[in-house]
Amino acid sequence: MTPQNAGPSRSAGSASARPQRADARRNAAAILDAARQCLQRNPDVSVADIAAAAGVGRITLYGHFKTRAELIDAVLVDTIAEADRRLDDIDLSGDPVAVITQLISSSWLIIDQFRGLLHAAQLELPQERIRAVHDRVLDRVSGVIERGRDAGAFRTDLPTVWLLSVALAVMHAAADDVVAGRLGADDAGPYLVRTVLATFTAPGSVVPAAGVQES
């Protein structure tokens, strides 16, 4: 009799554990989603406000993410992964100048959508961590730069890693200027393309037009 009674007890225990794990996953997803939306509206949003938006208590939130910085890091990783998936649609095998133009334009649309999160990350996380999270996206640009250098379209007097650093810094600066109201979001895309192409183009070559009108 004892084994028969013990069996159902263990099954019931396992069954009750599974919903708890599922609830934990749902809570974590809700927290990440709420944090992304809240940070986009207000980069300085509090953990308490994020927890309220997610429909959980602060204790539950801290059970998943021990600090605000850890939560922002997780949201940034998740967002950059989504951005990388969006960039999968870009054919990287075409003309390097055209591909770089498309990559910068598409990347800006993503950055503009999540610029509040990026601003929060810049305030909360080390710069080397932010750079590391961007590595997969930057690898795409790096490969195109190398092809452009081989074709004579892009400069060879500066290392690729420096060109990448400049492009990333300029894009983050554009996001900061839009947040501060110094630059319109619609203007930033063409400005970025023109600036990055001017940085990448080989000395003595003509910088391709990028739809920026002279003022």
Q: Which long-range contacts (CB under 8 A, 24 or more apart) does 157-161 make?
A: 157/203
Residue ranges of the chain with per-residue pLDDT less than 70? 1-20, 206-215
Distance CA 47, CA 58 (A): 7
As a whole number of Å, the end-to-end CA separation of the chain is 89
Written as one letter, the residue type at 141 is: V
* Domains of the chain, start order: 2-66 (1.10.10), 69-200 (1.10.357.10)
Q: What's the pLDDT tens digit per position in 61-74?
A: 999 999 999 999 99
Q: Specify the pLDDT at position 209.
A: 60
Distance CA 205, CA 114 (A): 34
Of residues 207, 111, 108, the one with CA closest to residue 155? 207
Distance CA 89, CA 84 (A): 10
Q: What is the DSSP letter of 201?
A: B
pTM: 0.72
Written as one letter, the residue type at 49 is: D
Q: Specify the pLDDT at position 118.
A: 86
Distance CA 155, CA 200 (A): 6
Distance CA 61, CA 56 (A): 7
Q: Specify the pLDDT at position 45.
A: 93
Report whether 125 contacts 69 (CB < 8 A).
yes
Distance CA 176, CA 173 (A): 5
Q: Specify the pLDDT at position 208.
A: 67
Report whether 106 contacts 87 (CB < 8 A).
yes
